[in-house]
Structure 1
């Protein structure tokens, strides 16, 4: 386990992750381009879910490279990376099951979002977020669910429109589970189980 943490803390690895997540974030906003073009401006911050999650992690990585911690971004990252990482994996698999077809981009999204869901948890032992950071991030995340499934700004997947209510319910519980994971690590921090880059 110490070897894993040593790799995670290596500045070369942090730079690599920063590049990957930055490129993934840019591609993610591009993926949402057509939906953003028809989205009312008031909802724009809440529509591109996955790229915004990876953008939070970009800020976390930048802080690490500066030997700092930005706890609010850590809380936002761990919750949203898990939530939207798992969400995208499930939605792409569901698309394959329902339609019988999945383009190569779908398989790429399964792989990249699976990694996305894991990376926030892997780095959590280096985080310094507190309870109020997690509560604020949880409010943001649940508010995003309201925007997506009450105001119907959710990501559009061909063939899944008839399952919107079920997907909304599933998404809500991903928010709760992601928040619970973040709270678990806050409790570990209170016990002094935290790692440092310095």
Structure 2
């Protein structure tokens, strides 16, 4: 495992990952463009979930490269990358089950979002997350849940919208799992000595 972390800590690898995530973030906001154009201003920060998660990670990566403490963004990235990475994979698999087919972009989204979920967990040992960072990120994650499923600001997944209650229930427990995963990895990483 030390070999893997030595790669993750490599400055060239960090820069490559930063560039990939910047492009992914920009594309993600572009993908949400149609929905953002119709969104009430007060809800705008809570609609583009995945690109906002990667934006948090971009800030965390910049902090790692510059050796600056970005604990709040690290906590936000850790929770939201896992949550929305798994969520998008699950929604595309459900689309495949319901429709019997999936456009190639759905497979691309599954691969990219699975990578999202993984990268947050892999970098957890490098993060230095304080208790208030964790608490603030957990509040953000659950609050975003309410915005999505109380005010119906989630992405429109076409035929899947008839399962909106089940999706909302699944997403609530995914949020809880994301918070638990972040807590475990933050607690575990505080006992590790991986440095950049």
**Would you say same fold, with TM above 0.5?**
yes
Shift of residue 185, structure 1, vs aligned partner: 2.6
Q: Matched residue of 1:160: which SS? A: helix
User: Measured at CA, do residues 131 and 194 of structure 1 come closer, stay the same or move farther in structure 2, by a change above 3 Å?
Assistant: farther
Structure 1 residue aligned with 2:2: 2
Q: Normalised by the size of structure 2, how large is the TM-score?
A: 0.97
Superposition pairs for residues 157-176 of structure 1, below 5 Å? 157-176=157-176
Q: Matched residue of 1:120: which SS? A: helix
Q: Does 1:136 align with 2:147?
A: no
Structure 1 residue aligned with 2:184: 184
Deviations 1:92-117 (A, max 9, x none): 11111111221111111000000000
Q: Say how many residue pairs are matched.
A: 196
2-structure distance, mates of 1:186, 1:91: 27
2-structure distance, mates of 1:182, 1:89: 19
Superposition pairs for residues 10-49 of structure 1, below 5 Å? 10-49=10-49
2-structure distance, mates of 1:22, 1:90: 24
**Off by >2 Å, runs of 4+ in structure 1:** 185-190
User: Measured at CA, do residues 5 and 189 of structure 1 come closer, stay the same or move farther in structure 2, by a change above 3 Å?
Assistant: closer
Q: Normalised by the size of structure 1, how large is the TM-score?
A: 0.96
2-structure distance, mates of 1:89, 1:160: 14
Structure 2 residue aligned with 1:195: 194
Q: CA RMSD in A?
A: 1.0
Tell me, yes or no, if the aligned pair for 1:54 and 1:116 is still in contact at 8 Å: yes
Tell me, yes or no, if the aligned pair for 2:126 and 2:189 is still in contact at 8 Å: no
Structure 2 residue aligned with 1:82: 82
